[in-house]
Amino acid sequence: MSGECKTDSRLEKILKSGQFAVTGECGPPRGADPEVIRKKCALLKSKADAFNITDNQTSVVRMSSISSAVVMMQEGLEPVMQMVCRDRNRIAIQSDILGGAALGIKNMLCLSGDHQKFGDHPQAKNVFDLDSIQLIRTVRTMRDEGKFMGGDDIKGAPKLFIGAAENPFADPFAIRVPRLAKKVAAGVEFIQTQCIFNLDKFKEWMKGVVDRGLHEKVYILGGVTPFKSLGMARYMASKVPGMDVPDHLIQRMKDTPKEKQAEEGIKIAVEIIQELKQVPGVAGVHIMAIEWEEKVGEIAEMAGLLPRPAV
């Protein structure tokens, strides 16, 4: 995995240099005002190495990932352009990959995408021409072989550092390591995991990852999300598909007075990061403070992850 960087991505440089990486997340606005992104960027700047720009997350229409990423770059932050398979066929996907790279985007995250049932347009037709693994293979082939899926040569290959997500907590658990192996075989270079609350289960998954040597082929960033409140903890435990929140964390939030719950949520997130740093094979963390961007810096600071290295 070490060796020369294939892109100009700052995230790739940090991971290849063996330093513990930190990524954050920035959700684009539900409107055309770029100031919303600029404000979030001001809160996030220097608090992590790169920041995911979500692609119509939970199937709710928002400003596009590519254009939001461009606004972020104008503010001096490095974006990770998320791309889901739900809304585009392979023609649009490859076209957007070229466009994103042309605009200076250096990282891309390949996702299947939430089903549109959860969003504000449940009537929509979904595409899923490709799935996330086929998308990884597509962008890797475009970058390293300079070929489109159709086989034609690309004049000017897109130099993107290629990521994907993986959920160690979804079922069936037996194929969760094999599924990561498929993503690695398809050409993924870094993984951001689903939010980790159940550390025991995460460690069990990581053991499987390390036993197969996959951690030597892909950088794994553990996903961390702070609870804002008991309500949010309960919501994540019961309403978000594929989320595993142990009862003892719910209880801990319950035992905390309401006005202190946000603080407790941050504390839990910091503790999880401290644990993740010790887990063999974990190369970094991905902090997802959903609509709570101002807390990313605080969490990173408390977890001893600041200042971020210059590369």
Partner 1 sequence: MVVGERKPFDEIKKTLEGHKKVLVLGCGGCVTVCLTGGHDAVQVLSSQLRMARDNEGSPLEIIEKTVERQCDPEYVEEVAALIPEVDAVLSMACGAGVQFMAERYTTTPLYPALNTTFVGGSVKEGYYVERCQTCGECKLAYTGGICPIARCSKSLLNGPCGGSTKGKCEIDPEVPCGWQLIVDRLEALGQMDRYEEINMACDWRTNRDGGPRKMIREDFQR
Q: Which residues contact partner 1 (rule: CB under 8 A)? A: 85-86, 90, 112-115, 117-118, 126, 128-134, 137-138, 149, 165-167, 170-172, 174-175, 178-179, 181-182, 185-186, 194, 241-242
- Tell me how far, at minimum, the Cβ of 263 lies from partner 1, in Å: 29
Nearer to partner 1, 156 or 241 (CB): 241
- Tell me how far, at minimum, the Cβ of 149 lies from partner 1, in Å: 7
Here the tokens at position 252 are 């801990």
- Tell me how far, at minimum, the Cβ of 270 lies from partner 1, in Å: 25
- Tell me how far, at minimum, the Cβ of 117 lies from partner 1, in Å: 5
CB pairs under 8 A, 24+ apart, for 118-123?
A: 118/58, 118/59, 119/56, 119/58, 119/59, 119/60, 119/61, 120/59, 120/60, 120/61, 121/59, 121/61, 122/59
Nearer to partner 1, 37 or 177 (CB): 177
For residues 262 and 230, what is the distance between their CA atoms, to the nearest angstrom? Answer: 9
Question: Distance between the two ends of the chain, CA-based, in angstroms?
Answer: 18
Here the tokens at position 26 are 């920035």
Nearer to partner 1, 181 or 249 (CB): 181
For residues 64 and 68, what is the distance between their CA atoms, to the nearest angstrom? Answer: 6
For residues 2 and 291, what is the distance between their CA atoms, to the nearest angstrom? Answer: 35
Here the tokens at position 167 are 């959920």
- Tell me how far, at minimum, the Cβ of 291 lies from partner 1, in Å: 21
Nearer to partner 1, 37 or 250 (CB): 250
Nearer to partner 1, 10 or 140 (CB): 140
Nearer to partner 1, 16 or 137 (CB): 137
- Tell me how far, at minimum, the Cβ of 261 lies from partner 1, in Å: 26
In this structure, what are the phi and psi dihedrals at residue 193, rounded to the nearest 5 degrees?
Answer: -90, 165
